[in-house]
Amino acid sequence: MSIELRDLARDIAIEAGALAARRRAEGVEVAASKSSPVDIVTAADRETEELIRRRILEARPDDGILGEEGGTTGGTSGLTWVVDPIDGTVNYLYGIPHYAVSIAVVEGEPDPLTWDAVAAAVHNPASGETFDAARGEGARLGGEPIAVRAPVELSQALLATGFAYSAETRGRQGEVVARLLPQVRDLRRPGTASLDLSFLACGRLDAYYERTLSPWDHAAGVLIAREAGALVLGKDGAAPDRQLCIAAHPELAVVLERAVREAGALDWDV
Ligand code: LIP
């Protein structure tokens, strides 16, 4: 079943990505701001999520949906689709070709601390790349199996992270980054969490960590990274959630978790 769900998630992500890319080509404007003036939503985010919801309910009328723009729709099957119609909305707004439709299917309560992800797809319509995974079946890029890079010393690791929409939190995150930067090879802030995790999964990054992620930002990427061999951790041994998402080859993940903690990244609640 996980393979069928993966293939459905992938097909919907590709169709939705084509719509988002069409709207991008027509020009994009901010429709509203959310948690802060720089946390924005475009009409394309809403329209793309509506298309995804329609396609899911046509194929799987008993499943629930948790979407970034449309909230939660309950289901009866025990499966929930966790949807970010456009992850990397700021990249999308600025025309940076690095954004994604991110779709996961999870089992259990729609809570990242307890859910069990079954299938995932992350599609970047600007590059045409599609990452996907099915539980126990591995992760793929364009249908070909992918795996994380072999572990390196922290000093050789290319690390990615992301920052919150709250200015105060970003200030603190900047201080943490200033402490971590001399300890690693270099740092990337690509701007799309689902693609950060997917890039980690195919060896384009050594490691990734971020705080303040929403469930739809990481649901699909975490399964893709895990199925590619990464260890993905949350805070204090919990599953990845808003508090922390840290991912790397298992040997490096443990070292990075310590470094992130010692750099003060977990010193405040989010
Ligand atoms: C964004 C992420 C980005 C992260 C932001 C935000 P959005 O998602 O993917 O990498 O750092 O905090 O969550 O808002 O573009 O869907």
Three-state DSSP string of 53-83 = HHHHHHHCCCCEEEECCCEEECCCCCEEEEE
Residues lining ligand 1, judged by CB closer than 6 Å?
68, 84, 87-89, 162-164, 191-193, 210, 212-214, 217
Around Cβ 150, how many Cβ atoms within 10 Å? 10
Closest-lying ligand 1 atom to the alpha carbon of residue 213: 13
Asked if 270 contacts 242 with a C-beta cutoff of 8 angstroms, the reply is yes
Q: Which residue has the tokens 């998630």?
A: 9
pLDDT at 14: 98
Instruction: Measure 81 CA to ligand 1 centroid, in angstroms.
Output: 18
pLDDT at 268: 92
Dig out the tokens for 10 from the structure. Answer: 């992938």
Closest-lying ligand 1 atom to the alpha carbon of residue 84: 16
pLDDT at 135: 98
Buried b (16+ CB within 10 A) or exposed e, 104-133: bbbbeebebeebebbbbbbbbbbeebbbbb
Return per-residue pLDDT of the chain as tens, 270 residues. 899 999 999 999 999 999 999 999 998 888 888 888 888 788 999 999 999 999 999 999 999 999 999 889 999 999 999 999 999 999 999 999 999 999 999 999 999 999 999 999 999 999 999 999 999 999 999 999 999 999 999 999 999 999 999 999 999 999 999 999 999 999 999 999 999 999 999 999 999 999 999 999 999 999 999 999 999 999 999 999 999 999 999 999 999 999 999 999 999 988
Helices and strands (H and E) in the chain: how many: 7, 15
H-type alpha helices, 116-242: 167-180, 193-201, 215-227
pLDDT at 203: 98
pLDDT at 41: 84
- Whole-model pTM: value is 0.97
pLDDT at 58: 98
Q: Which helix (H) or strand (E) holds 31?
A: strand 30-33
Closest-lying ligand 1 atom to the alpha carbon of residue 92: 15
The gap from C-alpha 224 to its chain's centroid, in whole angstroms, comes to 9
- The phi and psi torsions of 28 (rounded to 5 degrees) equal -125, 135
Dig out the tokens for 3 from the structure. Answer: 């393979």
Instruction: Measure 87 CA to ligand 1 centroid, in angstroms.
Output: 6
pLDDT at 104: 98
Asked if 65 contacts 40 with a C-beta cutoff of 8 angstroms, the reply is no
Collapsing DSSP states into helix, strand and coil, what is residue 241? strand
Q: What is the 3-state secondary structure (H, E, C) of 128-155?
A: CEEEEEECCCEEEECCEECCCCCCCCHH
The gap from C-alpha 214 to its chain's centroid, in whole angstroms, comes to 9
Domains of the chain: 2-146 (3.30.540.10), 154-262 (3.40.190.80)
